[in-house]
Structure 1
Amino acid sequence: MHRRRFFALALGVMAATCGCDRLGDSGAAPAGRLTIVVPAPRGQGWDQAARALAAILTGDGLAGAVEVSNQPGGVGAAALSAFAARGPFARDGRLLLAGMPVVAGAEIANVASVMAATTPLARLVGDWTALVVSTNSLLRTFEDFAAVLRRNPAELVVGGRLDGGSDHVLYGMIGKCLGVDVRLLDYAGYPGGAEGVEALQEGRVAALLGSARAFLPEIAAGRVRPLVVSSSERIDGIDAPTLMEREIRLEYADWCGVFGPRGMSPRDRDEAVALCDRIDASPRWQALCAANGWNRVYLSGDEFRQWIVTETRRTRGVLGELGLLSSFDTSCWGSCVGRH
């Protein structure tokens, strides 16, 4: 008997070809049950995006029922291992919504990489990072911050989200770009943004890395002062330059994407990528992204797979320099600071 297709994705492709906004409008039955695994507790990380994705899948008629399965733990390595251990798709569809922390988590835990454990389908959205200080900080500009690091990389304690996560990796990249010894950087990870802001206000950290979107209320209220943002262009509501403007050739987002089970057939993979294309093109999804401040950074299929290979390589390099890998062959990347 021919096995059930990957939650009947072909129906979504057919509806798109016919110009139908909803699968139900084409007269075809909606797809079957789909589970979205997200390596974060409910209400944290990309859980909100997973639930928005579930609403789009059912609201646009792309799936009959969608369940969000939260599998927190560390920086996502546990969820990745569990997702991979269940083997190829067999009956009901399963997708993993994950991003940079899971890429890093797999490297730190020395388990199968994201590429080996899943089938990359599409990169959906990203969240830019801001570096902020308290309003009474003597660090008035990013140049002040960079000068201290160049003089003594261990002098400043910089806070952010969990050790080994996106903020920690970005700090390592900034240090590498500045030409400092990344092994000496002092980083303090916190489970949530509120704990990090509290540490900043109490002087336990000199600066704080985190979601630029999440910092907006703190910045507007004058409780923190931004020094720089990691986006390619300046961010509305944040009076701070980009790293690029400060001659740091670095653009970085805490991104999340969609992954399928490993071992998907080429046909299943193509149909799953087509579903992701429909999600990104959905006006409902675009409205949700705008409302939540998520930047659409869509990349799918082979282009996403190739990008993941490069992203994993550069992430592993930084983690090794930070001393977070059990074994690492140190090599010099060279500085990424613009020279004239």
Structure 2
Amino acid sequence: MIGANPGGGFDQTGRSLGAALVAAGVAKTASYDNKGGAGGTIGLAQFVNTDKGNPNAMIVTGAVMVGAIETNKPPVTLKNATPVARLFADTMVITVPAASPLKSIKDLTAQLKANPGSVSWGGGSKGSIDHILAGLVAKESGVDPKKINYVPFQGGGEASASILGGHVTVGIAGVSEFLPFIKSGKMRALAVTSRERTADIPTLREQGVSLEIYNWRGVYGAPGITTEQRKALVDAVVKATETPLWKETLAKNDWAPFLLTGDEFGKFVDNESARLGSTLRELGVAK
């Protein structure tokens, strides 16, 4: 289950993992169900309700879904599913259309300070890690995060189209999602959120904004599976991450390996929920 429309990071993650599971010989085939909306929580609700006890089902999750759960407080959360594995960390990038007058983060923060509402930020769903990044950039620039003009999209494809069309001022996504547009010159990258440069794009820190933030993605299994069935899923995912195909996928997308499995992954998600939740309350997005 992929709780997003085709073309974004959740979609890339699910399809890449499926291909690696087949390549590792731990799965004969992999099928995908895209169900976009509400930061993946619509797909999560469907997954929990229809796949209960299914040992062969997994759902893609990540910081975006954790943020959406904190924001929307849906009746079905990740507590209703079974933690399997965290897979990788994804550096985020802030971009503008090629024709934009904004040439640097300094230009962006100057416009933000002058008129916060004049900068529209296009990214993933309300309460997503993209939304959090926009709020943190505002906060670091001395602007009230509650004043940002954030425009949410249901998938990377929609966000890209809106940025390329100049319908939003700035775009936020994982580097892998926007890199083709950056390389072709259709988008200009202003900054990455990692400690070191990614794809030779300057970091926020080196431009005077002391922020470092990553997106991460992983997979959960269905509710009601046995301990043995969960172990089989964990073992299968670990084997998939050891394949040359998976390693090539990580390198191609500038994804950093970030493997954590089982209960340890579950604890990590609990901590992320608390951390992202407090930031979202500060943004006035979560109650």
Please report the TM-score for the alignment, with normalisation by the length of structure 2: 0.83
CA contact (8 A) 1:116 1:262 kept: no
For the residues of structure 1 that align with 2:21 and 2:229, how far apart are their CA atoms?
A: 17
Q: Does 1:258 align with 2:219?
A: yes
Q: Does 1:225 align with 2:188?
A: yes
Q: Does 1:282 align with 2:246?
A: no
Among 264, 272, 279, the alignment partner of 1:303 is 264
Aligned amino acid, residue 279 of structure 2: V
RMSD: 3.0
Please report the TM-score for the alignment, with normalisation by the length of structure 1: 0.72
Among 41, 49, 67, the alignment partner of 1:85 is 49
Which stretch shows the higher mean deviation, 126-135 or 186-195?
186-195
For the residues of structure 2 that align with 1:217 and 1:254, how far apart are their CA atoms?
A: 19
Q: Does 1:122 align with 2:85?
A: yes
Q: 1:215 to 1:137 in 2, by over 3 A?
A: same
Alpha-carbon offset, residue 151 of structure 1: 4.8
Q: 1:249 to 1:123 in 2, by over 3 A?
A: farther
The residue number in structure 2 matching 1:55 is 19
Alpha-carbon offset, residue 193 of structure 1: 5.1
Aligned amino acid, residue 81 of structure 2: T
Alpha-carbon offset, residue 228 of structure 1: 0.9
The residue number in structure 2 matching 1:15 is none
Q: 1:111 is paired with a residue of what secondary structure?
A: coil
Structure that is richer in helix per residue? 2
For the residues of structure 1 that align with 2:24 and 2:168, how far apart are their CA atoms?
A: 45
Gaps of 5+ in 1: 1-36, 329-340
Q: 1:56 to 1:152 in 2, by over 3 A?
A: same
For the residues of structure 1 that align with 2:72 and 2:142, how far apart are their CA atoms?
A: 27
Alpha-carbon offset, residue 194 of structure 1: 6.1
Alpha-carbon offset, residue 186 of structure 1: 0.9
For the residues of structure 2 that align with 1:125 and 1:202, how far apart are their CA atoms?
A: 30
Instruction: Count the aligned residue pairs.
Output: 287
Q: Does 1:176 align with 2:139?
A: yes
CA contact (8 A) 1:119 1:260 kept: yes
Q: 1:204 to 1:70 in 2, by over 3 A?
A: closer
CA contact (8 A) 1:131 1:207 kept: yes
Superposed CA deviations along residues 51-71 of structure 1, whole A, max 9, x for unmatched, are 232222233221344332333
Alpha-carbon offset, residue 95 of structure 1: 1.3
- Percent identity of paired positions between Structure 1 and Structure 2: 31
Superposed CA deviations along residues 263-285 of structure 1, whole A, max 9, x for unmatched, are 55544444433333222222232
The residue number in structure 1 matching 2:60 is 97
Aligned amino acid, residue 62 of structure 1: V
Structure of greater relative contact order (alpha carbons < 8 Å, 6+ residues apart) = 2
Among 115, 132, 157, the alignment partner of 2:120 is 157
Q: 1:270 to 1:112 in 2, by over 3 A?
A: farther
For the residues of structure 1 that align with 2:208 and 2:76, how far apart are their CA atoms?
A: 32
For the residues of structure 2 that align with 1:81 and 1:193, how far apart are their CA atoms?
A: 21
Alpha-carbon offset, residue 118 of structure 1: 1.7
Aligned amino acid, residue 53 of structure 1: L
Aligned amino acid, residue 275 of structure 2: R
